[in-house]
């Protein structure tokens, strides 16, 4: 996924090196907004610190290139000067960021892992469950789950709702090349990718008026 993904959106997906020297870490943090330093330093896991710092560094770079200012909103989500919008996600060793200059955007990246039947029932609508149950339990079903989930989560991020809403209230159709939000096909567009084996990423962008 690259510049132009999902239409007007700039998207970056990276897997930062976990073996940064002290000097490289300081250089990375120098590109992160100062307001984020205490929060990043307070994260317990080194991978979480690296992912968060990398994500904010990438968003800061994108925001500057588009002439907008990056900050953390009252809801805790990265924000920039409207009408531009930004989004950040990380999972495992992967970090994804997206910027849309003239509409809402959400991104989600996930490493594929085992999904229990109970989790699938709590997260997916009846339509979505039917699709993942078309393949046997195992890796293929887990991959289908995360293809759906990244699209669903990207949409919920774009709208600002996040997981305060029941994810089953949103139904995604992934039977075509790109995900489709049923009932709101004309309002939102999606772009899905697999940047590496066992990794799913999806961007959701509000269609231009």
pLDDT tens for each residue of 152-178: 999 999 998 766 778 999 999 999 999
How far is residue 109's CA from residue 138's CA, in Å, rounded to a whole number?
Answer: 20
Q: What is the DSSP letter of 154?
A: H
CA angle, residues 21, 52, 96, in degrees to nearest 5:
110
Whether 108 and 153 have beta carbons less than 8 Å apart is answered as: yes
Region 29-56 average pLDDT: 96
- Determine which of 13-27, 149-163, 190-204 has the lowest per-residue pLDDT on average: 149-163
Residue 24 to residue 4: CA distance in whole angstroms: 30
Give residue 2's pLDDT.
Answer: 38
For 122-149, write each residue's pLDDT tens digit: 999 999 999 999 999 999 999 999 999 9
At 165 the pLDDT is: 79
**The residue count for the chain:** 209
pLDDT at residue 12, as a whole number: 94
Q: Which of 209, 201, 208, 203 is nearest to 181 (CA)?
A: 203
Q: Using an 8 Å Cβ cutoff, are 79 and 72 in contact? A: yes
Q: Are strands 78-80 and 172-173 parallel, antiparallel or unpaired?
A: unpaired
Instruction: Tell me the C-alpha distance between 29 and 170, whole Å.
Output: 37
């Amino acid at each position: 996924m690259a510049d132009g993904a999902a239409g007007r959106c700039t998207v970056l997906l990276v897997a930062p090196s976990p073996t940064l020297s002290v000097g490289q870490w300081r250089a990375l943090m120098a590109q992160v907004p100062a307001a984020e330093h205490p929060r990043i330093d307070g994260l317990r896991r080194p991978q979480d610190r690296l992912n968060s710092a990398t994500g904010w560094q990438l968003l800061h770079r994108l925001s500057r290139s588009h002439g907008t200012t990056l900050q953390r909103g009252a809801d805790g989500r990265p924000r920039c000067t409207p009408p531009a919008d930004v989004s950040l996600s990380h999972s495992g060793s992967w970090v994804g960021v997206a910027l849309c200059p003239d509409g809402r955007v959400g991104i989600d990246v996930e490493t594929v892992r085992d999904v229990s039947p109970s989790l699938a029932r709590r997260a997916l609508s009846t339509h979505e469950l039917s699709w993942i149950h078309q393949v046997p339990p195992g890796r293929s079903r887990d991959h289908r789950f995360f293809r759906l989930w990244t699209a669903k989560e990207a949409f919920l991020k774009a709208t600002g709702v996040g997981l305060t809403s029941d994810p089953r209230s949103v139904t995604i159709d992934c039977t075509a090349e790109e995900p489709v939000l049923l009932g709101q096909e004309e309002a939102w567009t999606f772009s899905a990718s697999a940047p590496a084996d066992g990794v799913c990423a999806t961007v959701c962008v509000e269609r231009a008026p």
